[in-house]
Amino acid sequence: TDIAALVARLPKAELHLHIEGSLEPELMFDLAQRNGIAIPYASVEEIRAAYEFSNLQDFLDIYYVGMNVLQTEQDFHDLTRAYLQRAHADNVRHVELFFDPQGHTDRGIAFKTVIDGITRALDDAEAEWGMTHRLILCFLRHLSEEAAFETLQQAMPHLNRIDGVGLDSSEMGHPPSKFARVFAKVGALGLKRVAHAGEEGPPEYVYEALDLLKVDRLDHGNRALEDSALVDRLVAEKMTLTVCPLSNLRLCGVERLEDHPMKRMLDLGLRATCNSDDPAYFGGYVNDNYVRTAEAVGLTADDIIELARNSFRGSFLEPDEIERRL
Ligand code: ES4
Ligand code: ZN
């Protein structure tokens, strides 16, 4: 279609992608065999059949099981390489990846193993295709503040490869305020700050992300739409929202993609972007997210172009580099 052709030719940045969420069932199955790791599935088809979620926690329970197959530096490289190839095929020119070190260090994998594998694939993509990147360490918010501080300590020898810190995992019951002190330290280290907020949590959590964590960007932010004063503030601050439509659909944040707020967000003047979140689990990479959302909610060609431009505006590239790519 016209829309698919436009989306395919637009240069894009992807700003909301959990690298562990790009683990396709085929690679999960291969790595389980390669590493002698038991998984609760007998086939690739069985893995795919298990991806039926009614909320965020349903998904996370399966996501943390899937990542157990990741053991060696080569595994993290292969995972990242496979995602970058998919992104390259979608004309993604810049990626900002999340990784969840606690999902690995808590089962005995060294922080260095994780980051060395991921960064080797990122460096290769830059050398081969000129695809640029930033790397964002996420704290698992269902774990303690103390565990986040320990993880930040483990990251210290690798800060030359880490551009920012985020907050992900189970939102309800784990408000941003729980991590205010660790995010203050993150800011003092000169790192960027982002947080998932308003994915399932109330507008209050979005205020906390802004006021207590001092985020440079907001991940999801959907429920901010329930509070018009908050919307006005996000517009005034030109805050980027990394929206993930197919994720919202699969985690039942919206009942149908036609109900997705992406068009409303753009019409309100919010700096929304379109991203894939956990593409192996949610059924689509970045271009699928653009095309299916555009068709479902009636995005115009100008809306689609705006989303792609917003992805560079909201990136952590240098200002002159952003200007060059718009
Ligand atoms: C996530 Cl969709 C989503 N939300 C919160 N945490 C996550 N970790 C991986 N995907
Ligand atoms: Zn996410």
d(CA 144, CA 166): 15
Atom 6 of ligand 1 has which residue's CA nearest to it?
169
Contact present, 90 and 287 (Cβ < 8 Å): yes
Q: Tokens in use for 72?
A: 């060696």
Is residue 109 over pLDDT 80?
yes
Please report which confidence band the pLDDT of residue 265 belongs to, taking 50, 70 and 90 as the band edges: very high
pLDDT at 168 over 80: yes
Q: Ligand 1 pocket check: which of 23, 55, 56, 137 to mutate, most ligand atoms within 8 Å of Cβ?
A: 56
Q: Which two tokens stand for residue 215?
A: 């985020």
Q: What does the angle CA 224 – CA 321 – CA 292 come to, to the nearest 5 degrees? A: 45
- Per-residue burial over 231-247, b if 16 or more Cβ lie within 10 Å, else e, is beebeeeebbbbbbbbb
Average pLDDT over the chain, rounded to an integer: 98
Distance CA 326, CA 308 (A): 9
- 278 in ligand 1 pocket by Cβ < 6 Å? yes
pLDDT of residue 1 exceeding 90, the answer is: no
**What's the mean pLDDT in 139-165?**
98
What pLDDT digit, counting tens, does each position of 11-66 carry?
999 999 999 999 999 999 999 999 999 999 999 999 999 999 999 999 999 999 99
ipTM: 0.97
CA of 195 to the centre of ligand 2 (A): 9
Say which DSSP state 20 is in. G
Give pLDDT, residue 207: 98
- For the CA of 169, the closest atom of ligand 1 is 6
Helix (H) or strand (E) run with residue 27 in it: helix 25-35
pLDDT tens column, 200-253: 999 999 999 999 999 999 999 999 999 999 999 999 999 999 999 999 999 999
Which residue has its alpha carbon closest to ligand 1 atom 8? Answer: 169
Instruction: In whole angstroms, give the CA distance from residue 241 to residue 220.
Output: 6
105 pLDDT more than 80 = yes
Cα–Cα separations (whole angstroms), residue 9 to 5, 103, 173, 305: 6, 36, 42, 10
Domains and CATH numbers, the chain: 2-25+70-314 (3.20.20.140)
